[in-house]
Amino acid sequence: MLSSFLSPISILLVLSLYFDDAVSSSEVSTKIGKGYRLISLEETSDGGLLGLLQVKQKNNIYGPDIPLLQLYVRHETEDRLRVHITDAEKQRWEVPYNLLPREQPPKAKQTIGKSIPRTAADYPGSELIFSYKSDPFGFSIKRKSNGQTIFNSSPDESDPYGNLVYKDQYIEISTKLPSDASLYGLGENTQPHGIKLYPNDPYTLYTTDISAINLNTDLYGSHPVYMDLRNGGGEAFAHAVLLLNSNGMDVFYRGTSLTYKVIGGVFDFYFFAGPTPLNVVDQYTQLVGRPAPMPYWSFGFHQCRWGYHNLSVVEDVVANYEKAEIPLDVIWNDDDHMDGHKDFTLNPTNYPRPKLLAFLNKIHAKGMKYVVIIDPGIGVNSTYGVYQRGMANDVFIKYEGEPFLAQVWPGPVYFPDFLNPKTVSWWGDEIRRFHELVPVDGLWIDMNEASNFCTGKCTIPKGKQCPSGTGPGWICCLDCKNVTATRWDDPPYKINASGQQVPIGYKTIATSAIHYNGVREYDAHSLYGFSQAIATHKALQGLEGKRPFILSRSTFVGSGAYAAHWTGDNKGTWDDLRYSISTMLNFGIFGVPMVGSDICGFYPAPTEELCNRWIELGAFYPFSRDHANYYSPRQELYQWASVAKSARNALGMRYKLLPYLYTLNYEAHTSGAPIARPLFFSFPNIPELYGLSTQFLLGHSVMVSPVLTQGKTEVKALFPGGTWYSLFDMTQAIVSKEAHFLTLDAPLNVINVHLYQNTILPMQRGGTISKEARMTPFSLIVSFPAGASEGQATGELFLDDDQLPEMKLGNGYSTFINFYATMSQKTIKIWSEVQEGKFAVSKGWTIEKVTVLGLDGISKSFELEISGEPVTDTSNIEFAASEHNFLNKLEDGHKKKSMVVEVKGLELPVGENFAMSWKMGI
């Protein structure tokens, strides 16, 4: 939903008062102090290292130095190394261990007492080596396999950064980087230069309600992790670095160095060895949490709008999608269904409960779903049951002993404190009550950065209505005073919040406000949406034991284990269309693979051409939703005939690919692998792909190449070496030995999607709703290199009861199939190996067709086995063949004979092993 309305709003007056004597975060080259020296080091009982660091020379820049630090280093797994540095004498704020489970560092008393040399030494693990020097203290991390240094915090005199700095409200550390390192991550922000981090662009991490149209700005999420990809001698190595810290921070990337400037917490570094990008995300999500399993229907198309004023409008939208034969699985409500914008309520006039329940019964019978929004702010209203129960349970964040007053859509609100166990229970009870009122299928948690239309300490004005009911709802109507009296509201170092160094409490909760157990908002601010997602996930799963679907705007490290994400308030422009790809790909790296942007843009009015191109791209977002602003014209996909045509084409392919997307969902849940990923994930040794931000892969081998420029009817796409086949016309093939650009035709209603060689792709017939599409017969696309005499291909398919909370084998309600194919000595063999086939057999799923790409002939010497038994009656099986059309000139100058061969009329049970073979023509 629109929030601080496309801000940043002018705040020059606030800034002029705020920064009179502040030290600016733009002074990135200031060297502070002489660092620390290592004065003791011992081996711990868990095989780690525990040491003490003493400050060398005190100073008061950004506050006094912490005199004594504790260093803890441990190889936690074969490919994960942790370096933890904190105050040796006082406990400091860390991301709560119950919120993000992980091992707790020991204290000095737990050491064995075995002394270790303190001058300089190595501490090797299976793949990573921790090395240190003692005075001034610095450490480096190297690969054992090739000696590559992946992190080095020890500066030289010529470096623009200094030694380790550790103060109460300012900690700083840097690392050297080779000039050829390609970095990705450090979000959430909208990156105009593409997916690669761009030297000297600002990277500030602090959850902020500021729309995604603002470039290089701290947006809704905080993900202090980056992936580093390097290519030496044609071989790529990837690793990642996570700084697990929820405090606000600036990260300065200069190309040859990277510096963290953090306003609190601890240095809790995790280094992930890779060496492939997929390995990195696997190792990262093993720590922070595997991505949540998503229900099958969530991979269908979603329609939303802020401004569906009454139920009849929603009914009309659903009817028009059906009439236009455009796929639609989920209809959403923004806050239009609410009574006075209050959570867990229904507007009795515009959304009367009896009529809404009748509507839901109707769409649920078809298999459609219904999702609504809830915001964290609870309206201060003595007649409002949610507020009454919240007050009775004492669940709200406090300021000076009273609930902190803010303003969001209902007017004056209090914010629930999701760090409080009582709040989690109360929240779950409110969701239960609402679900009994309205059987929603998922929840959309918005405004959870947390967003506040006011700033400072506020009171409800006397003698006037607030809000007035006229004018923009995001204008503050409370009586407020700025809060800058404490060092928590006015810290000594100013991060580049909102891209303008605004006060960190600006348009959010005052950072001196208090959470459960005395935790300050100053420390916990960026965890708010994460903690709400955890509470919401627990509540939904507890309702009926079904798999939850939650969409969250604000995210943190680990959010992907509970929620999907959309990229927030974007604009209906060609630039925003392009930016959406980079943000989507970043979130895959962050372990949040279920992600997408508002298709056609959230505001203002997209052009017809733009909406065509956006649905063509958005049909291949993992999370595919059209969402528009209250003030924008209607932009449902049926509003233009040309857009409806593009939607039928692109979404038609998406719905055929649903079994593939759902299998990628399973892969993400079990290994962290992004659903949508950069091309370098599959082709890491090709440097030309490292900055490619205009194309992407779904899984390992389906490549999407959208048109992103106004007026274009062709697209220049980069194809890695090998054979690629068009999924929309499998007679079209592209072949080359090396990566190369090729210009493809792309008329208004066409998007180019290609399948790489050596793949077996499971598909179904499709349809206009996933429930029906899911029950249609399967087909397999087997892709060999064009014209090759030898080849092999593999694929996977995961099927389950998607209402189950867990997505796994072994429960009796899931099936996993490995598909294999070989081409050798003029013989084609295709077979399956099924794990736990009972579920698939019970559903009656069958394979009706196998299409093989890249053959040079066909004959009728066909053999088929099912579960090891020969099938003698193959009279209904048909062969069809057509020749490939090569879209590019073949490099050897000769036209290879290459064919598409279809084997139709099959009735192969998906849940049973099968094997088929035939001889190619001579």
Residues with Cβ within 8 Å of residue 804, at least 6 apart in sequence: 546, 547, 811, 813, 814
C-alpha to C-alpha distance for 805 and 798, rounded to whole angstroms: 15
Q: Is 228 a catalytic residue?
A: no
Hey, which residues does 625 pair with through a beta bridge?
302, 598
- In angstroms, the CA 370 to CA 329 distance is 9
Counting Cβ atoms within 10 Å, is residue 398 exposed (0-12), middle (13-18) or buried (19+)? Answer: middle
Task: Calculate the CA 613 to chain-centre distance.
Answer: 22
Q: How far apart are CA 148 and CA 366, in angstroms?
A: 57
CA distance 379 to 389: 12
Q: Is 446 a catalytic residue?
A: yes
DSSP3 helix / strand / coil % (the chain, rounded to 5): 20, 35, 45
Q: In whole angstroms, what is the distance from residue 165 CA to residue 152 CA?
A: 15
- Taking the C-alpha atoms of residue 105 and residue 122, their distance in angstroms, rounded to an integer, is 20
CA-based nearest residue to 832, from 844, 843, 821: 821
Residue in the structure block whose two tokens are 């409002």: 384
Q: Alpha carbon 283 to chain centroid distance? A: 16
Question: Are the C-beta atoms of residues 724 and 707 closer than 8 Å to each other?
Answer: no
Q: What angle do CA 488, 489, 491 make, to 5 degrees?
A: 65
Distances (CA, A) of 225 to 95, 184, 241: 15, 9, 6
The active-site residue out of 168, 209, 336, 449 is 449
Q: Does a cis peptide bond (omega within 30 degrees of 0) precede residue 160?
A: no
Q: Is the dihedral of CA 312, 314, 315, 320 positive or negative?
A: positive
3-state secondary structure of 116: coil
**Given the residues 282, 334, 446, 489, the one annotated as active site:** 446
- The residue count of the chain comes to 922
- Give me 758's structure tokens: 């050596």
Structure tokens belonging to residue 455: 């700033």
Neighbouring C-beta atoms of residue 462, cutoff 10 Å: 7
Q: At what angle do helices 658-671 and 641-656 cross, to 10 degrees?
A: 60
Task: Identify the CA nearest to 546 among candidates 816, 812, 809, 806.
Answer: 806
Query: What is the per-residue burial (b if ≥16 Cβ within 10 Å, else e) of 164-193?
Result: bbbbbbbbbbbbbbeeebbbbbbbbbbbee
Decide: 548 and 537 in contact? Cβ < 8 Å. Answer: yes
- If you ran DSSP here, which 8-state letter would residue 429 be given? H
Q: Which of 209, 268, 282, 569 is catalytic?
A: 569
The residues near 365 (Cβ < 8 Å, ≥ 6 apart) are none
Query: How many CB atoms are closer than 10 A to CB 865?
Result: 14
Q: Which two tokens stand for residue 141?
A: 């991390």
By annotation, the residues acting in catalysis are 446, 449, 569
